[in-house]
Structure 1
Amino acid sequence: MRTSTAQRVTRTGILLALMLFAIVPLLSMFTTALAEPGSPPQGLSWPAHPHWRNFLDAWNSANLLALFRSSALIVLGVVPATVAMATAAGYALAQLKVPGGKAIYTVLIVGLTLPVEALITPLYYDLRSMGLLGTRPAIVLPLIGLLMPFGVFWMRAHFLGAETALTEAAKIDGAGTWQIFRRVHLPLATPALSALSVLFFLATWNQYLLPLVLVDDPAKRTVAGGLGAFQGQYGTDIVLLCAGSLLIILPSLVIFLVFQRNFVKALLQGAVK
């Protein structure tokens, strides 16, 4: 009993420490965003006269409405297409006898090791030769390619743990490959698909380097790419910078809170399997 109690206390202490590690910076940014414009940061101290208008000023100054619209278009172009292709590829590599499947999977794993910084220069010249430089497809297409290796890895791991008895039962009932995938395995993959969609949303929404290098129009970048221009213009006004950063972070927090149950369920499924 003493050992069990000590373990519970230790786990609780670690969780509280991690929670504080994540929440304290956000609270500090929030209190700073409510301070008087142009004033130095005051840490976690609540301002005597909160300036809620700072969020509106940051919204208008950084033209966040156009950036949010651009980010939404980029997310809609990246996430559904990447999740669909990664799901199909992961299922094929896990459940179907694809010729050269091991070699294909090895190439995809190698793709996980390639940093974006090493690819940015060839991407720039390739997109320029295709006439896409400066457009949103210049962000969407590379992101799809960069996210695919992890998506295939994630979905393949899920489908490898699928019950073979369900597949055999569906075959006995006369179901074809497509029907087995669509009616048996795809509904069971909902937690994994939801978690993957959240991860791809966060990766796309927070993408900074590609929009900054490949698109010269700030209105066509992601909100994270626009933050660089915002910081350059208001680098000395930490209050507005914190207000703008919180506005940019807010959609990511909302998406994660909405889908956190599916995210945790997908992780627990993998642990159990």
Structure 2
Amino acid sequence: MRISRFEAGVNYTLLGVFAIFALTPLVGVLLTALTPVAEARSGFGLPSTLALGNFGEAWQRGHFGDYMLNSVAVTLGVVALTIVLSVLAGYAFATMRFPGRTVLFYVMLLGLMLPVEAFVIPLYYDLRGVGLTNTYWALLLPQTAQSLAFGVFWMRNYFLSFPTSVLEAGRVDGATDRALLWRVLVPSAGPAMMTMGLLVGMWTWNEFLLPLIMISGEGLRTAPLGLAFFQGQHATEQSLLAAAATIVALPIVVVYLFLQRRFIAGMLGGAVKG
């Protein structure tokens, strides 16, 4: 379907307005991060000089090197576990027939509607009872469980959209379920898994409440949790706070910009059939 020049102009105008609204606060934070500490103030304004040293000072004073490594380790672990388990469960729900399949699937989808605030306190006591609080497992396991509802739903819908004739031909030729999954479906599911991994990675990286409740020692703090403590210690130094916030947000932005084409391909070609 072709659109007229007027319709295209209206679309670009609306998108431009939305982009301005979305980018305005980000530009404000970046300008504040580049403003010398002595000149920092609320609102927008161009700095007299670019104080790039704010980033180094915030990095050093906030110990963000350790916090970023913790966040990277937790995020990679959660993404890897979520992708593997979601692929296995999604394939089972999409292609296998077993008693209670539909009920079990919809029970799992309840995880999409249950906020972490509803179960974080009993979860803390459960993990403390088995000695897992203040460990990486206290961050890996709950956040993987949180992500599985979306991951299983996403991969199930992708596998349902795959041509059944290909799977049936494989079964006729004697292919097992394992061979069909890993040799036929998974190689074609790259964009869908990339999109899921990027979304799960973004949610895991930005998670604040679980690390706040589960982690008591400074050595295992994640980047968002470290940023909160940094804010409490440097509440009046707006330039350093903006620089620290930019440091914490930058990895996810870079990863998204690097993988944006695959992300969009996965969004457009992924979960279509329910």
The residue aligned with 1:37 is 37
The residue aligned with 1:56 is 56
Partners of 1:46 and 1:177 in 2: CA distance: 61
For 2:231, give the aligned amino acid: Q
For 2:47, give the aligned amino acid: P
CA spacing shift, 1:56–1:136, aligned 2, 3 Å: same
Is 1:265 matched up with 2:265?
yes
1:84-129 deviation line (CA, Å, top 9, x unaligned): 0011101110111133110111111112111001111101100110
Identity %: 38
Aligned 8 A contact 1:136 1:221 in 2 = no
The residue aligned with 2:10 is 10
Aligned 8 A contact 2:87 2:155 in 1 = yes
CA deviation after TM superposition for structure 1 residue 227, in Å? 1.1
The residue aligned with 1:121 is 121
SS at match of 2:135: coil
The residue aligned with 2:92 is 92
The residue aligned with 2:167 is 167
Is 1:156 matched up with 2:141?
no
The residue aligned with 1:181 is 181
Aligned 8 A contact 1:38 1:238 in 2 = no
The residue aligned with 2:246 is 246
Partners of 1:152 and 1:37 in 2: CA distance: 47
CA deviation after TM superposition for structure 1 residue 38, in Å? 4.6
Gaps of 5+ in 2: none
In terms of mean alpha carbon deviation, does 13-22 or 114-123 score higher? 13-22
SS at match of 1:236: coil
1:6-64 deviation line (CA, Å, top 9, x unaligned): 22112111211222222222211111111121544364432112211000010011100
Runs of 4 or more off by more than 6 Å in structure 1? none
In terms of mean alpha carbon deviation, does 88-97 or 6-15 score higher? 6-15
The residue aligned with 1:230 is 230
CA spacing shift, 1:66–1:23, aligned 2, 3 Å: same
Is 1:197 matched up with 2:229?
no
For 1:235, give the aligned amino acid: A
Query: TM-score scaled by structure 2?
Result: 0.94
Aligned 8 A contact 2:192 2:270 in 1 = no
Partners of 1:246 and 1:91 in 2: CA distance: 39
Partners of 1:73 and 1:254 in 2: CA distance: 17
Aligned 8 A contact 1:31 1:43 in 2 = no
SS at match of 1:128: helix
Aligned 8 A contact 1:67 1:222 in 2 = yes
Query: TM-score scaled by structure 1?
Result: 0.95
CA deviation after TM superposition for structure 1 residue 72, in Å? 1.4
CA deviation after TM superposition for structure 1 residue 272, in Å? 7.0
Aligned 8 A contact 2:155 2:271 in 1 = no
Partners of 1:152 and 1:127 in 2: CA distance: 24
CA spacing shift, 1:42–1:121, aligned 2, 3 Å: closer
Gaps of 5+ in 1: none
Q: Note the aligned Cα RMSD (angstroms).
A: 1.7
CA deviation after TM superposition for structure 1 residue 175, in Å? 1.1
Aligned 8 A contact 1:92 1:98 in 2 = no
In terms of mean alpha carbon deviation, does 43-52 or 22-31 score higher? 43-52
